[in-house]
Amino acid sequence: MDDYKVLFIGRSGSAKTTAINSASQINVVSTDVAMSFMASDEKKETTVGLDYGDLLVEDRAGQCRLRLYGVPGQSRFSFSWEILQQGCSGLILMIDATDKFAIEDIHYYTTATSSDCERIMLPTVIAVVKSDLLNLEALSKLKEAIQKENILSPILWIDARNKDAVVSVLSVLLKQIRR
């Protein structure tokens, strides 16, 4: 059976851990600890090592296993990003719609050249979360700004707490990987 390593990347709070927990068919290996700062009612923990989950999916090419890895979003753990990226078949770039760096992050990952970082050569899908927390004006501003970026990677607007939504992001990525 084919086996693909998928890496969830994105800033702290962009719902990497949540997405992996939603989609995984096994108990997720998690390294979340209480946040030492910036904790909120909604988010009290942060990943300090990695998340690992796993699911079997089926498409026209047959069944395959997706191994889901989540990086820690806090930049103080950035040394682990390159390590976790090794052997990766595809990336999910998680974007928090309420984050002031949302567009900056999308721009960075979609315009970096191969000499900047190898990861942008990988099949990538962008998943934007928390759009439910934006008012209509802020949402249309964000959509407009994203449109201006002329991004080639598929963009899906999801709630990472919803299993079906995360699985559909993974299906879009799998299509790209198996193309």
Ligand X SMILES: Nc1nc2c(ncn2[C@@H]2O[C@H](COP(=O)(O)OP(=O)(O)OP(=O)(O)O)[C@@H](O)[C@H]2O)c(=O)[nH]1
**Which residues of this chain interact with Mg ion, rule CB under 5 A?**
16-17, 47
Cα distances from 152 to residues 11, 85, 103, 123, 125, in angstroms, run: 21, 21, 15, 11, 9
Q: Which is nearer to ligand X, 47 or 124 (CB)?
A: 47
- Find the residue with minimal CB distance to ligand X: 73
- List 47's β-bridge partners, or say none: 32
Q: Which is nearer to ligand X, 43 or 163 (CB)?
A: 43
We find the least distance from the C-beta atom of residue 4 to Mg ion, in angstroms, to be: 21
We find the least distance from the C-beta atom of residue 47 to Mg ion, in angstroms, to be: 3
* Cα distance between residue 105 and residue 120, in whole Å: 13
Which amino acid is residue 62, in one-letter code?
A: G
Which amino acid is residue 44, in one-letter code?
A: K
Q: Which is nearer to ligand X, 98 or 178 (CB)?
A: 98
Torsion angle, alpha carbons of 31, 32, 33, 37, to 10: 130
We find the least distance from the C-beta atom of residue 84 to Mg ion, in angstroms, to be: 12
User: Is the CB of residue 11 less than 8 Å from the CB of residue 151?
Assistant: no
We find the least distance from the C-beta atom of residue 7 to ligand X, in angstroms, to be: 13
Among ligand X, Mg ion, none, residue 133 binds (CB under 5-8 Å by kind): ligand X
